Structure 1
Amino acid sequence: MKSVGAIKEKRQISKMKEYLEKHSARDYSLFLLGINTGIKLQELLHLRVHEIRSSNGDITEILPLPQYNSPPVYLNLTIRNILKKYVIENALIDADYLFRSRKTGEPITRQQAYRIINTAAKEAGIEEAVGMTTLRKTFGYHAYIQGIAISLIQKRLHHASPSETLHFIGIDSHSEKIKLNVDL
């Protein structure tokens, strides 16, 4: 099994987003949720609509996932709008899997998710190995570069130590410059 890394170039992420948005709302939503939350693939694939939607039909700001309560999984406005549009356009009901197979109604498989992300990466010109762990690594890497405390990223990724998290997201002590941008 090949080792995969984070997608560090925002330009490549943008190209993947463009490809996926044109290709499939489901696949686009899966990619965005993965790179913006750091949730494990198996948990992403088994999300049901009722877990992301409140009783009034809006997408929740905080995902009610007990394994991700410290820190909680925040869905920014962009993600909420994309998910809402996807749920409405596909007439998904609360009991549906969010990322369901068109054929079976069950969640898409790990293999299908891999094919989706790998194809998008190739279309974006990414030559490095890409897999489903790439989504979590990309989340962690960009959170760290934006100045999020490694301890919070460590908790989100369920790692035992900060050094494990730094290694996982591809950071060595001298490789990246962090920008603590407080723009008041």
Structure 2
Amino acid sequence: MDYVEAFRDIKQINAIKKYLKNHSERDLLFFVIGINTGLRINEILEIKVCDVLDEKGSIKNFFSLPAYDHHPEKQIYLNAKAKSALSHYLETSKLQSDDYLFVSPKTKKPITRQQAHRIIHQAVDALGIDGRFGASSMRKTFGFHAYKQGVALSLIQKYYHHSTPSETLKYLGISKDEGIQTVIDVNL
């Protein structure tokens, strides 16, 4: 797989959201979930409607991903932007509780990894964004912006299951010499 980079520019992220909103609510949700949860593509594609809704039909604050391979069960937080996109998508789609969130209309199964990559590539190409981007850019974007906002590198490293801080920095495309200004906004 080719190396891809994080979306560092908030203006580019917003432009991609706008493009995807005009193209497909499903694809917009895919991007919003990807950049706001830092999940792997295979984890995103396996999410079902029932995973994100409670018994009353409200969107959960957290949902669980089952353990697999060497990865333990994981609690995923849905922030306000993810919940808003989910709410809008679920209101406008005709998905049932057991349906995959990112369902292919042709197969009724989740979209493929190839389709996930195509969604990002088409948006980036249409907007003329330079760089090497793909579906994995969403996961890297989450980590990059978490780091920039003051989340400890050790927490990001643990979230990604990396063995060293330097592995995490390399994954995020951050060099030790890079002067990233961290903003810790408590916003009390």
**TM-score, normalising length from structure 2?**
0.91
**How far did residue 151 of structure 1 move?**
1.4
Distance 2:72 2:63 in 1: 9
Q: Which residue of 1 aligns with 2:55?
A: 55
1:13-44 per-position Cα deviation (integer Å, ceiling 9, x unaligned)? 11100000111000000000001100000010
Q: Which runs of 5+ in 2 are unaligned?
A: none
2:138 corresponds, among 125, 135, 138, to 135
Preserved contact between residue 65 and residue 74 of structure 2 (Cα < 8 Å): no
Preserved contact between residue 70 and residue 156 of structure 1 (Cα < 8 Å): no
Is 2:182 aligned against 1:181?
no
Q: Percent identity?
A: 43
Distance 1:142 1:122 in 2: 23
Q: Which runs of 5+ in 1 are unaligned?
A: none
**TM-score, normalising length from structure 1?**
0.93
1:115 corresponds, among 115, 118, 122, to 118
2:102 corresponds, among 76, 99, 103, to 99
**How far did residue 69 of structure 1 move?**
7.4
Distance 2:185 2:59 in 1: 28
Distance 2:164 2:118 in 1: 31
Q: What SS does the aligned partner of 1:143 have?
A: helix
Q: Which residue of 2 aligns with 1:172?
A: 175
With over 3 angstroms needed to count, the CA separation of the structure-2 counterparts of 1:69 and 1:85, relative to structure 1, is farther
Pairwise CA RMSD: 1.7
The amino acid of 1:94's aligned partner reads S
1:156 corresponds, among 151, 154, 159, to 159
Q: How many residues of Structure 1 are paired with residues of Structure 2 in the alignment?
A: 184
Distance 2:5 2:135 in 1: 10
- Runs (4+) of structure 1 exceeding 6 A deviation are 68-71
